[in-house]
Each structure stands twice: as C-alpha cells, then as structure tokens.
C-alpha cells in the first residue's frame, strides 16, 4: 500500500555551522566526520582553493528513507 509522505527537511545543503545548530553536534565533530567520509558533502568546483564545506542534507534524508522504498519527486 502506497502512502503519500511529505517531508520538509530545510535546505538541501548546509554549512558546517548550520548543520551543527540543526543537529546539535559540535562543529569540530562535524568537520572530523566530513574528513572521515561519514557525512556527504557537495563536491567542490574549485580545485586547490579553499571553499565553504556544504553538508548534503538532501542525501542524508534520502539515505534515511531508503528502507521505505520511496518514490522521490523533485
């Protein structure tokens, strides 16, 4: 049986600081998780230069919903 489910998860991408506020985690912990590959980030377009790390919140929501086999309409 299919049920419609609507989820508002905020921004598709969040800075480390925004994600820290949203998740309740410390900024240092989030940066460590990014370095270890535990959190998905947006691919950087600028090679060799510093840029803002953006956590891919949309990927985290999609991962959380995988076991429900959702149809995602963007």
| Residue ranges of domains in the chain | 10-51
Residue 67 has pLDDT above 80, yes or no: no
SS3 content of the chain, % helix, strand, coil (to 5): 40, 10, 50
Residue 66 has pLDDT above 70, yes or no: yes
Per-residue pLDDT, averaged over 1-25, amounts to 83
pLDDT tens digits along 27-59: 999 999 999 999 999 987 666 667 789 999 989
Q: How far apart are CA 12 and CA 55, in angstroms?
A: 8
Q: How far apart are CA 40 and CA 30, in angstroms?
A: 11
- pTM for this predicted structure: 0.72
- Tokens matching residue 35: 């370095």
Give the alpha-carbon dihedral of 6, 13, 27, 29, to 10 degrees: 70
């Amino acid at each position: 049986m299919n049920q419609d489910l609507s989820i508002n998860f905020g921004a598709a991408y969040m800075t480390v600081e925004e994600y820290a506020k949203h998740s309740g985690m410390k900024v240092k912990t989030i940066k460590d998780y990014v370095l270890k590959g535990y959190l998905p980030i947006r691919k950087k377009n600028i090679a060799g230069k510093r840029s803002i790390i953006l956590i891919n919140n949309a990927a985290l929501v999609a991962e959380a919903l995988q076991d429900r086999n959702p149809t995602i309409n963007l």
